Each structure stands twice: as C-alpha cells, then as structure tokens.
Amino acid sequence: MSSASIKFSGNLIEELSQKIPSSLFALNELIKNAYDAFSPDVVIRITPSNQTISIIDQGYGMGEEEIKSLFHISKSTKRYGHEVEHNGIKRLTQGSKGLGFLSAFKFGDKVEWATSKGGTRSNFTVCKSELVAKEDVAGTAITITTEPDSKCGTTITVHSDKAQIDELLNDLNGGDNRVIEKLAATIIDDSFDIKIEIEHKQEVVSTRSLKPFTKENEDSQLFYVNYDSSKNEIEFYHKGEHLKSISHALMRTDYSINIELIIFHFQKGKNSKSVSALNRRVHDDALYPLIYMNNNLFNNTIIFNPELLRKKKSGETLPQMIGRVGVVSKSSEMEFNSDRTNFVENNVTRGLLKDLEQLNRLIQTEGAELKKGLKKGQKTPTGKAVPESEQRAEKSGVASIFFDRSKPNQFYVPSEQM
C-alpha cells in the first residue's frame, strides 16, 4: 500500500496575500490584532525615506504559543464577537481568520516582528519571496531570537519598495483624507486610539482627533435619533428636546442594534459639502452613516442606505443623515464575504438586513411627519439637536418581554400581577 501527503506550494502565500482586497482591509486586520491584545493604541507609521511601514502597539505581546499560532494560516483560537475583559477593560474579540500574517505581506516582501511578553522579547523575520520559492511551505522553520525585555507590545516592520509605498499613500490620501480618516475610525471604542503618522506630514490623523459626528453643522441639524434594541424604542430629539418615542422590536435575538443619527435640513445657501469627508461616501459624495460590526468598521454603504425611499416624494424622506449604526453579535453565522463589504447570506444575516431596512424606513417616514409638524410657514427650524446628557436620562415605562417563537419556552408566573 502506498500513500501520498498534502503539500502547499509557496505560491499559495502569494495568491492569498494578493487576494486581500485593499490597503484599508489589510491595515484593518493588523489594527484588530493590536486591539485584541488590549493595547491602548496602535501607531501606523509610514516612512517613504527608508521605504518602511511600521505597526506599533503596547498590547500584551506574543509568547511562543502565540507566535506558532501567528503562522497557522486561516486558523485562530479567538472567538469572534465574544466579550473579553483585561484589567477592567472589556472588548469584543475582532480576529478570527488568522489573516494578520498574510496582511503584512500586502505591503512588502520582508516583514520583521519584535514582540515582548513576560519579560522576553522575541525577534523573527519572514521573507515572502523565500516562501513563494518553496515547493512545500508546510513545516518551514522560522528562526526566533530572544532577549530580556521588561516592556510589552509588538512592532511589525514591513520593508516595502517605492511603488508599494506610493500605492499605499495614494490609497490613503484619496484627495480629502476621507480614507485615512476611515482608517482612524476603524475601531469605535473610547479605550483605543488609532494613529496614522506619515513622514514629512505635520498632521497626525488619529481616532481622537476626528470630529464627533454629533457636532457636524449644528445650525443645520434637524433631528438627533437614537435607537437601542435593548430598550426597543426609537427616540427623536429636536433642538435638544425630546420629541417622540416609537416602540420597535427586532425580529431576532442573534444580534443587537444601536443607532445614533444626525438628520440635517439645510437652509437656502447651505449644503452637505461642509460635513466632514469621513461622513460622505467615496463614489458619490452623499452623506451616510458608518456601519460597525462588533465595533469594527464594516465597509458597506447599502445595508443602511439613506436613499432607501428615493422613489417617494422628497417631503416623505430624510436622506440627509450621518451617524453610527452598530451591530453586536457573537453568532457563528455572522459571516462576511472575502473583501468584507457584505454578508454571507443565511438566516441570521437575512434577518439583520430586514431589521436594518425596517429601522431605516421607520426613522425616515416618522421623521418626515415630525418635520411637517415643525414647519413654520416656509421655514423648518433647525439647530443643535443633541440633548444634554442629563436630559437623556432613562424614562420609566411599561416592562416588555420578547420571546423567540422558534425556541421552546417555559413559563413560571410567581404573582398574579405578571
């Protein structure tokens, strides 16, 4: 009896790294690794003079087992969407596909890692061209040198070339910084800051330097809208005052949704061009809310499209909106396509898309009716819509319990009042 063994040509490394769709996607994967390591920040430093790109964090670093896991392509011990706590800080796990190793090769052939954990600093280097030249990369040994180090964290240095650096800078600049600002807005979490430093460019773009969307064009704000699926209420505010609450429950319990929107009404002589580029779509410059899946930016402009009701009369829609639409789920069915621009279709993602569409439709139609009631003559009053924090105190009301009919339920009633 004879046997055969499975082998993987080094060309697979080249093919997989090149299939990573964009610079933004690749950097996002590296940022997620720093976030999962509970670093307070991550610095992306682009240095054209020596043709390097560095990704620096102060997380808990990698030891021997983590380094071995790093080179196990498309396998991860992380559980996507699950909450993890470290030193009193809670974060939702981002990585799950084992793409950090390949993402670094998006920008260059030679990649160096320096990572410190538990008093030891480990250094190792991998060249993609050497792996690609191998007939079988399985079992390839990576040399690791160690030395004492009291600090923690990881620095990844990618040695690139002029063409690759120029391509990256062109991707990030985008004419008005909207792509580089999207990179800084990749993770939405007050405990984490993303900094992008480009050599000879005085401005350092970071998460904390971005203008809060709630402060955009305050004199043209019509409504501040808030929805929290744990409370099942859509709240409308106008000029800081609570205007209306609308009850709305989600179809499924596999996910939760939190929405914060600013809806504008631009008076004569004003328009959306004055809103920060981060809140405008690349392909048509229209305003839109950013979508976050488990606190990570989801590069999709369709699933909560402000132009959903474009066939209706303008007085019945409110397309001039920006904000944040957040979805949290640890369901294993919350799957994405390869370039993370849409979902893999299944029962969970279909339900989520329907819920987002219903919320979008309800917010626009109900808001349009509220707008009509506010109109005074030919003018619609506008102004800072976001209420002061104390005005947004939780209100008492009737308690509600929602059951998933697809699952068996048992009821115990301890009191006749229930």
Residues 302 and 286 grouped into a single domain: yes
pLDDT value for 69 = 82
Helix (H) or strand (E) holding 381: none
Residues 122 and 145 grouped into a single domain: yes
Residues 143 and 224 grouped into a single domain: no
* More confident of the two residues 373 and 417: 373
Percentage of the chain beyond pLDDT 90 is 63
Q: Is residue 316 part of a domain?
A: yes
Residues 78 and 204 grouped into a single domain: yes
Q: Rounded to whole angstroms, how far apart are CA atoms 115 and 155?
A: 6
Residues 131 and 253 grouped into a single domain: no
Sign of CA dihedral 336, 337, 341, 343: negative
Percentage of the chain beyond pLDDT 70 is 89
Q: Is residue 398 part of a domain?
A: no
Contact predicate 43/197, CB 8 Å: yes
Residue 10 reports pLDDT greater than 80: no
Give the HSE-up count for residue 15: Cα atoms under 13 Å, Cβ half-sphere.
5
pLDDT band with cut points at 50, 70 and 90 for residue 22:
confident
Residues 195 and 285 grouped into a single domain: no
Q: Tokens at residue 266, please?
A: 């631009």
pLDDT band with cut points at 50, 70 and 90 for residue 101:
confident
pLDDT band with cut points at 50, 70 and 90 for residue 103:
confident
Summarised one tens digit per residue, pLDDT across range 373-405 is 998 888 999 999 999 874 554 444 445 555 555
Q: Is residue 402 part of a domain?
A: no
Q: Which of 209, 234, 252 is at the close of a domain? A: 209
Summarised one tens digit per residue, pLDDT across range 337-373 is 877 889 999 999 999 999 999 999 999 999 999 999 9
Residues 125 and 268 grouped into a single domain: no
Residues 34 and 134 grouped into a single domain: yes
Domain of residue 109, CATH code = 3.30.565.10
Summarised one tens digit per residue, pLDDT across range 300-336 is 888 999 999 988 887 889 999 999 999 999 998 998 8
Q: Is residue 101 part of a domain?
A: yes
Contacts 24+ apart (CB under 8 A), 287-290: 287/319, 287/320, 287/321, 287/322, 288/321, 288/322, 289/259, 289/261, 289/321, 289/322, 289/323, 289/324, 289/325, 290/185, 290/323, 290/324, 290/325
pLDDT value for 314 = 78
Q: Rounded to whole angstroms, how far apart are CA atoms 291 and 301?
A: 8
Note the helical H segments in 124-204: 128-132, 162-173, 178-184
Residues 40 and 77 grouped into a single domain: yes
Q: Is residue 415 part of a domain?
A: no
Residues 171 and 26 grouped into a single domain: yes
Expressed as residue numbers, the domain containing 150 is: 11-209
Residues 95 and 219 grouped into a single domain: no
List Cβ neighbours of 43 (8 Å cut-off, separation of 6 or more): 54, 55, 56, 57, 195, 197
Q: Is residue 291 part of a domain?
A: yes
Domain of residue 292, CATH code = 3.30.230
Summarised one tens digit per residue, pLDDT across range 248-307 is 999 999 999 999 999 999 988 888 899 999 999 888 889 999 999 999 999 888 899 999
Q: Is residue 331 part of a domain?
A: yes
Average pLDDT, the chain: 88
Q: Is residue 108 part of a domain?
A: yes
Summarised one tens digit per residue, pLDDT across range 151-172 is 999 999 999 999 999 999 988 8
Residue 14 reports pLDDT greater than 80: no
pLDDT value for 76 = 59
pLDDT value for 397 = 47
Residues 54 and 26 grouped into a single domain: yes
Q: How many domains does the chain have?
A: 2
